[in-house]
A and B are shown apart, each in its own frame.
Chain A
């Protein structure tokens, strides 16, 4: 099973600042990586797939990069609605696996 490790567990950021979230895979997943956002009491929402392709309707301030085992989600200028938990997920192999999540909180 491919283990996905996200860092940091919690990220404190001021509105308008840049946020950088990391995701590491225990073995290469090529570019088969997705990012999701989950707000309290809501279902997750797909942000990024293919490591860097924005999903439908996702604001341009969200961007993804990386390949192989190291990936990054960047939120260029945090808005109030962006404070949430973010998960990465690999779909290169079965079982599909998620990272443990990074909580982005208001500083």
Chain B
């Protein structure tokens, strides 16, 4: 059974940093692209970033480019999202997803990041 468990969410001040983690199990992590998708409170889904299976290629939404960095540790079956220069509009539930890097096949339960002073 595929399991994705996000952690690292919480409250952070504007301009601050946060690192999200996603622990994966139930599949061969190193064979699949992985993504982060977020959802602001009461809003729709927004793709944030994708990384290929080897980590050699990464893709970002314009809204986070230059501020967020996606990475992975295939030896630890873990996906990361390093978030810098956080803004109020980054407040959202962040979902980790097993992707392809095409569609989002399996999703974690999400972790809430709140950016507020």
Given known A96-B50, A98-B46, contact A43–B107 (CB-CB < 8 A): yes
| Assembled-state Cα–Cα distance A89/B107 (Å) | 15
Residue ranges of A at the interface with B (Cβ–Cβ < 8 Å): 32, 34, 36, 38, 42-46, 49, 55, 87, 89, 91, 94-101
Extra contacts besides A38-B45, A95-B59, A95-B61 (17): CB < 8 Å: A34-B104, A36-B104, A42-B109, A44-B45, A44-B107, A46-B105, A46-B106, A49-B102, A49-B105, A87-B45, A89-B45, A89-B103, A96-B47, A98-B44, A98-B46, A99-B44, A101-B44
User: CB distance B104 to A46 under 8 Å?
Assistant: yes
Partner of A98, one of B35, B45, B102, B107: B45
Q: How large is the interface on B (under 10, 10 to 19, 20 to 34, 35 or more residues)?
A: 20 to 34
- Given A43-B108, A96-B50, decide whether A91 and B102 contact each other with a Cβ distance below 8 A: yes
Residue of B with least CB distance to A34: B103
User: What is the CA–CA distance of A14 and B61 in the complex, to the nearest angstrom?
Assistant: 38
Are the CB atoms of B47 and A98 closer together than 8 Å? Answer: yes
Point out the residues of chain A lying under 8 angstroms from B108, CB to CB. 43
Cβ B103 vs Cβ A43 within 8 A = no
Are B61 and A89 in contact (CB-based, < 8 A)?
no
Residue of A nearest to B103 (CB): A34
Q: Give the distance to chain A from B116, nearest Cβ to Cβ, in Å.
A: 22
